[in-house]
Structure 1
């Protein structure tokens, strides 16, 4: 192609130079970080003051606003680790639960590398962190063939949320057996047996076991795009009797793993937290909590009863005009903190109406009425006292009237307890509001019945109205009601 040597006028050249000094650089000269819509807005977040600490060196993690853990910021070549304090270790001799929401940014297919939930008894304690970012996720040994297999976090268990597949000469071969995409799997990062060095196609490679299994059928879970500006609920349950940990990421099946505590951790008390990393690609890794293990242990329950005390649940029928009593109870069992700033929240189904003036509260301090100002339409949001081992039982009750429905209508009621350091829900209560039924009238004698003029007749039979327990009959005879 012929080259053009067209000259620009001096004035035009000067204008271009001035504009170049005034205007900012075009976007393609540097990465542009756009704040995601849900970045700071998890569904729930409790106060994390005094719960976590970061390693003295090597970690880019922090706690934002006192209630969101940022494992890695939304930029390249970051590595994070954040751990429970000594006072907030997990006690593996006792059952516990944890409930949280995790966030992987909004980078889509450009996200990397992910994060991991980790339990450990590494001798470095709260300073434990792997030297490896990228595929190492801040917890694993390196992915280079022949390198150390024990420089990851020792005496550990991890659930990884891996958003980038490492399966080529440039990115390494850690994920050779999970090439379907972003995946969730568990492993033992501190064990040398987790890492497999091998030689193929004139290359030395290292892969790692997912779910402690080598090979493509290792049971890793594939949730699809994780980095789509979505907070996903993640729960953990520990059964001390069976020494089994069960976890579940929203949208996936639960996974249960028997763990030999002494073999893996060598102790009953372990640190727990998150690690994560980015590389040449990046994402924002964040966590917000509903329930921190062992911080507050409580039971909450909702019971719905008829006037005669019979419990309404499991599909039981309720009738038009019937009055039901809703009883909401919380019991504080134990914990490292008092349960504080508790708000009881519920939204009644659309087919019942709150009975004004019927709400009451009882606790160790006595009983009393609650003001109807806690209600907005069908929604209740009522404060209850802080709970601890002294004030350990609080009950709220109120009445509702069942409204008329045209067809049998199943309804479900649940209650959320939102405290500053613990959030939990009651189990759902399910019942059916029964449609109004035509009264059933049965005459004992079979017709037709023939009467002579002036002859009296007394009809005998039954009357049943399932919508009216009083069974009152109104009739009109010869114009008289």
Structure 2
């Protein structure tokens, strides 16, 4: 019976999956009923949104068809798996269930590409609204003022156009670079278009029709006027081939396969054809330089480059994608057509430019645009130069290993509507060069070497480029390595907020030297302390001359610290020198030394290495006479502190085996030993016997030896009231009434001594209870303590013990019992006068000697 129920459930599930898949595959269409009046130029139209399946425009697109196929197969295989299960063939049925679930749930997922470096477009573009385009979805990204989001939802229309101040000047050459991203999707429509339109005295058209028209083209209906953006040129990134040949269907792309890129002329009458096929008529759009069967919706960026040569009216473009390994090559437009369609023949010299786009009612796609070069915004150039020994090195020169060169990345601001703003330099050097530390400069001012990450210099900030400050440089020195030969190149880029300019790569060659060496030890940037007993410098060198070699060690200022002669009859050998004497004479801090070799032929090679000379802090802990304290006391510790190279020292304390904590910071006097005292507060200590350890850490994170204080410190606890007795007040006592329990006085005692001992608690009515009006005292039995066993009178003549010879545990809290009927009582009698009686109680806590 259970197999029959499973079989029925599977049939229902398969039907629902298939039905849902078919319903989702049905696309959208627009049916237009045109009502023509007596004047054929006057017409109105009624647009009906319908969902039909007979129109070719509504058939599942490539991605939809694949998903539909897998979902249908999933349902079928799930049905077959239950049939096999019915016949107890569990292995086959298990395989089919897995396959069917995979088929029903299959979804194409592709990684989104990171955003390339790009420009800010603040005040460069307008986003038309109102009558120009209803509900323009184009907007700037909230996180990035250089990224335009054209569409990000269903049924959207978008347009972004250059402002009046940022039109293209057709009398001048220009280049434009932009990137478009159409997010990963298998169900995308419709697309976007890059559009240029002539500036017209009668005004501009910013948007035409949605869906297949992409916001720039004429209506898809052959019966409507050709009303694409007049005098314009467009490059479309079309995500869906509209190839319906039914009557008045969406037939712009008949004969085109899949997603495609092409250029069109939206306002040209000849750009559209009315095709008659039997009883059907539809409007087809002409495409030039067509590239179809593309995959644009993979989440990667497509680069678009547009180039204009004014003298010949040559407009060219190129599309490419490194991620797809795709490059269209340069596509060149017919100059005469361009002069016509951009109204140059009518005297026009300016064009607005931007993007339009749209998405289908049921096919959502994210479409984004960035810009890496905007014509006329900033005109600048960057260059790379190389100098050696004060002479400029020509590209292609062969450099000898171990020689030193100076590299310059420079920029020149030529013109523009804006200054070149927020410019950062980036340089990538090849592995054949080693950058010399502390030589990198921006406009002759040294910058920190932290700007280098491996072979890449980045975030080297320059001032804004202006007409007055039109040239700036980044320079650094480098050594040609001796272990690499062949051709190398240096690349550089100046990346600004409103312009990114790449320098031409500087290419050179390297060749080996006949004298070369390598420093084996010490390794670069090592720290040496002033208490070392040896400082060996080990090198391996090659000298083809097999003669004596002069070796020298110099400071970064050129002072010779050591020199000697190496006698060698070998081509390759190892040599070691002890640098300790010279090291001891150096100051504390960072040093760069140059190790230089010179052979008999006068060939000089050198290498530099960096190290730091540091001093470890020293700590002396002085002994106190006292070593026993009570909780709450301050314990004084006295120290002598010495450090020869740090301005600040931190004192750390470790109590027993607990983690060490920093307790104080001190300013250091380099020239002498400094005495310091630290007072340790013991409020948070428990009673006990403690071991204290101390050490120093300087600002270079060097630590002194840990010093254990010579004595163990005793911190004694106390016998005390944990909760002090409080005042009490009783009213409405009747003279003839019975005794009455007072409000709780709440007396508690705690013994925190290291070794608890017996103790007693007593109380006495210091003054007795006295009535000022009658000048009379209350009787002796007026105030008392009563528990289950005894009735203790509390008078003014002797102490009454409430707790006697009690030995509590350490830190045990002992309270006087005031629960239930036990507690303090007041007993009035008829012999007393009416009125108020006041008195004072004295509580005595005493330590009782052990017997």
Q: TM-score range by the shorter chain?
A: 0.7 to 0.9
Of 249, 262, 265, which residue of structure 1 is paired with 2:319? 249
User: Which residue of structure 2 aligns with residue 306 of structure 1?
Assistant: 388
2:463, 2:22 → 1: CA distance? 56
- Mapping of residues 350-429 of structure 1, within 5 Å: 350-362=431-443, 367-381=444-458, 382-405=460-483, 408-429=485-506
Contact 2:245 2:254 in 1 (8 A): no
Q: Does residue 177 of structure 2 align to residue 88 of structure 1?
A: no
2:149, 2:433 → 1: CA distance? 43
2:317, 2:543 → 1: CA distance? 53
| Length-normalised TM-score, structure 1 | 0.76
Range moving further from structure 2, 258-267 or 431-440 = 431-440
Contact 2:425 2:474 in 1 (8 A): no
Q: Does residue 235 of structure 2 align to residue 159 of structure 1?
A: yes
2:476, 2:429 → 1: CA distance? 12
Contact 2:110 2:298 in 1 (8 A): no
CA deviations on 1:118-138 (whole Å, 9 max, x unpaired) are: 0113657565211x2221111
User: Which residue of structure 1 aligns with residue 296 of structure 2?
Assistant: 226
Secondary structure of the 2:250 match is coil
Quote how far apart the aligned CAs of 1:183 are. Answer: 1.7
1:125, 1:145 → 2: CA distance? 26
User: Which residue of structure 2 aligns with residue 451 of structure 1?
Assistant: none
User: Which residue of structure 1 aligns with residue 102 of structure 2?
Assistant: none
CA deviations on 1:368-388 (whole Å, 9 max, x unpaired) are: 444434333322121111011
2:333, 2:599 → 1: CA distance? 54
2:365, 2:504 → 1: CA distance? 35
CA deviations on 1:108-149 (whole Å, 9 max, x unpaired) are: 3x221111110113657565211x222111100022223211
Q: Does residue 371 of structure 2 align to residue 289 of structure 1?
A: yes
User: Which residue of structure 2 aligns with residue 447 of structure 1?
Assistant: none
Higher percent of residues as strand = 2
2:394, 2:493 → 1: CA distance? 20
User: Which residue of structure 1 aligns with residue 349 of structure 2?
Assistant: 268
Q: Does residue 254 of structure 2 align to residue 176 of structure 1?
A: yes
CA deviations on 1:453-478 (whole Å, 9 max, x unpaired) are: xxxxxxxxxxxxxxx9984599xxxx
Q: Does residue 147 of structure 2 align to residue 71 of structure 1?
A: no
Contact 1:412 1:428 in 2 (8 A): yes
Secondary structure of the 2:467 match is coil
CA deviations on 1:192-246 (whole Å, 9 max, x unpaired) are: 11001121244212211112xxxxxxx3124720110111222222111221122
Structure 2's unaligned 5+ residue stretches are: 7-19, 26-106, 321-326, 515-541, 546-597, 605-851
2:434, 2:188 → 1: CA distance? 49
* C-alpha spacing 1:195/1:470, structure 2 compared with 1 (3 Å): farther
Secondary structure of the 2:333 match is strand
Of 110, 116, 129, which residue of structure 1 is paired with 2:207? 129
Secondary structure of the 1:220 match is strand
Structure 1's unaligned 5+ residue stretches are: 7-25, 212-218, 442-467, 475-481
Secondary structure of the 2:154 match is coil
Alignment size in residue pairs: 407
Contact 1:72 1:80 in 2 (8 A): yes
User: Which residue of structure 2 aligns with residue 453 of structure 1?
Assistant: none
User: Which residue of structure 1 aligns with residue 275 of structure 2?
Assistant: 198
User: Which residue of structure 2 aligns with residue 459 of structure 1?
Assistant: none
Contact 2:313 2:339 in 1 (8 A): no
Of 130, 133, 138, which residue of structure 2 is paired with 1:61? 138
Quote how far apart the aligned CAs of 1:102 are. Answer: 1.0
2:502, 2:117 → 1: CA distance? 12
The higher-RCO structure (CA 8 Å, 6+ apart) is 1
* C-alpha spacing 1:122/1:299, structure 2 compared with 1 (3 Å): closer
User: Which residue of structure 2 aligns with residue 146 of structure 1?
Assistant: 223
CA deviations on 1:47-68 (whole Å, 9 max, x unpaired) are: 1111111222323211223221
User: Which residue of structure 1 aligns with residue 420 of structure 2?
Assistant: 339
Provide the aligned C-alpha RMSD in A: 3.2
* C-alpha spacing 1:422/1:113, structure 2 compared with 1 (3 Å): same
Secondary structure of the 2:365 match is coil
1:426, 1:473 → 2: CA distance? 34
1:322, 1:349 → 2: CA distance? 15
Contact 2:111 2:299 in 1 (8 A): yes
1:79, 1:292 → 2: CA distance? 24
* C-alpha spacing 1:191/1:401, structure 2 compared with 1 (3 Å): same
User: Which residue of structure 1 aligns with residue 264 of structure 2?
Assistant: 187
* C-alpha spacing 1:122/1:5, structure 2 compared with 1 (3 Å): farther
Secondary structure of the 2:270 match is helix
Of 172, 197, 202, which residue of structure 2 is paired with 1:120? 197
Radius of gyration: which is bigger?
2
Quote how far apart the aligned CAs of 1:282 are. Answer: 3.2
